[in-house]
Amino acid sequence: MTLIERCEKDVPDLIKKAAEKEPIAPEQLSKMIEKGRVVIPNNPIHDPDPKPIGKGLKVKVNANIGTSKDHSDIDVEMEKLRMAEKYGADAVMDLSTGGDIDEVRQRVIENTDLPVGTVPIYQCGLLKARKSSLVDMTSDEMFNSIRKHASEGVDFVTVHCGVTKATVESLKESGRLTDVVSRGGSFLAGWILHNQEENPLYEEFDYLLEIAREYDLTLSLGDGLRPGSIEDATDRPQIQELIKLGELVKRSRDSGVQAMVEGPGHVPLDQVSTNVKIQKELCDDAPFYVLGPLVTDFAPGYDHIAGAIGGALAAYKGADFLCYVTPAEHLGLPDVEDVKKGVIGSKIAAHAADIARGIDRDVDKEISRARRELDWDNMFDNVVDPEKAKRVRDEKNVADEEDGEDVCSMCGDVCAIKMVEEYFR
């Protein structure tokens, strides 16, 4: 019995636990899952801490980790995992494409209580490419890869079911600047064009639902034709794919399978709100999982900032799940420090959106109270990166008996807070 089906009968303990840290009652959360407006990726084989994603809840953050052909040290990936957990990621995706991919995935699942996601088509395509070509993948091989990941405990999988013959044809006619930037999307677009057949993940979607039901696997319906540049945002291929995903959301819900929808990566600021509204309308308020979005192509090396700007606005307008962007985006595989910066950037964006929606305002109120009282330790206890805040304070300030140790080197003896305390109170 899937989580949706369990929620139709009563309020499962998993839901009660999930509701403890959310602005929602367990009974209401259960109803939202039953309707498909909220998902909790939770494969019973892994049984991670419940992280509800969806309408009216705290915005969640995902961190991508994983190896490549050039960087395949599993111990480094474990460091990335620990860094993501430390700075507040709500989920991790293992996107490994190099080294022992099975071992990396198993180590990640074994070493985290966060929900774990993967993109099974990556491994399927790479294995086929070593023997012949990825366009030689068979339908059975694609589905067996999904089943393998699910049977090992993966909680959610990205599946590019909306890359169809029709959407690929639309792409060919669109005059896009950057064509396809999704790796999984490119695998399937190439497969369709080479074989002149329909995408098996779309054509045999009912079989995919059978696998998902068996493992209570959450489907993350991938945006294989997402825009890879500001120039291509909100174009016909992107929206045509989204229409398909909306149809598949309904089929998933009817089968008792949890589903969320992935959203675009590159979107100019003036189109972010529109993109969220379109997705919510076409997909009947399914949880929306966005990469960034990046609001400019101008920022290689600082794309975590471009992504945080877009993420804050998208989340305020209704996006539910932010996939972080790191400073290494468009440049190379993220290292441990990149993971830290990416998670922090997206956490700030998510928290900013939550505040605007009336959630978790007490955190900022406590920080402000501590600042008014020059209570540095209390402030550090509540900020996103206490270690950095403490380090900067230590490095930038020298104790001065005349000014007092509680002020900082910005104002010194003309500290605004101390002056107000002295003359106004």
For the chain, give every domain's residue range. Answer: 41-356, 361-424
CA distance 117 to 197: 28
Which of 116-130, 219-233, 349-363, 400-414 is predicted with the least confidence, judged by mean pLDDT?
400-414
Task: Grade residue 316 by pLDDT with cuts at 50, 70 and 90.
Answer: very high
Quote the percentage of the chain above a pLDDT of 90.
91
CA distance 240 to 251: 17
Closest CA relative to residue 308, chosen from 266, 350, 279: 350
Closest CA relative to residue 123, chosen from 195, 204, 184: 184
Which pLDDT score is estimated for 405? Answer: 66
Mean pLDDT of 10-30: 97
Q: How far is CA 119 from CA 28, 95, 262, in A?
A: 31, 7, 13
Quote the percentage of the chain above a pLDDT of 70.
98
Task: Grade residue 422 by pLDDT with cuts at 50, 70 and 90.
Answer: confident
pLDDT above 70 (res 401): no
Task: Grade residue 402 by pLDDT with cuts at 50, 70 and 90.
Answer: low
**264-288 per-position pLDDT tens digit:** 999 999 999 999 999 999 999 999 9
Task: Grade residue 418 by pLDDT with cuts at 50, 70 and 90.
Answer: confident
Mean pLDDT of 60-85: 97
pLDDT above 90 (res 400): no
pLDDT above 70 (res 404): no
Q: Looking at domain 41-356, which CATH architecture does it have?
A: Alpha-Beta Barrel (3.20)
pLDDT above 80 (res 413): no
Mean pLDDT of 95-118: 98
Which pLDDT score is estimated for 406? Answer: 76
Mean pLDDT of 184-193: 97
CA distance 183 to 210: 25
User: Cβ neighbours of residue 155 under 8 Å, at least 6 residues apart?
Assistant: 41, 42, 43, 46, 48, 91, 115, 116, 117, 217, 218
Which pLDDT score is estimated for 423? Answer: 74
Which pLDDT score is estimated for 304? Answer: 98
pLDDT above 70 (res 345): yes
Please, are residues 220 and 115 in contact by the beta-carbon 8 Å criterion? Answer: no
pLDDT above 70 (res 120): yes
Which pLDDT score is estimated for 383? Answer: 96
Which pLDDT score is estimated for 411? Answer: 76
Long-range pairs for 344-348: beta carbons < 8 A, 24 or more residues apart: 344/87, 344/384, 344/385, 345/304, 345/305, 345/307, 345/308, 345/311, 346/61, 346/304, 346/307, 346/308, 346/311, 346/322, 347/61, 347/87, 347/88, 347/89, 347/384, 348/308, 348/312, 348/384
Which pLDDT score is estimated for 199? Answer: 98
CA distance 416 to 384: 25
The whole-chain average pLDDT of the chain stands at: 95
Mean pLDDT of 258-266: 97
pLDDT above 60 (res 357): yes
pLDDT above 80 (res 45): yes
pLDDT above 70 (res 399): no
Mean pLDDT of 192-201: 98
pLDDT above 70 (res 221): yes
pLDDT above 70 (res 33): yes
Task: Grade residue 42 by pLDDT with cuts at 50, 70 and 90.
Answer: very high
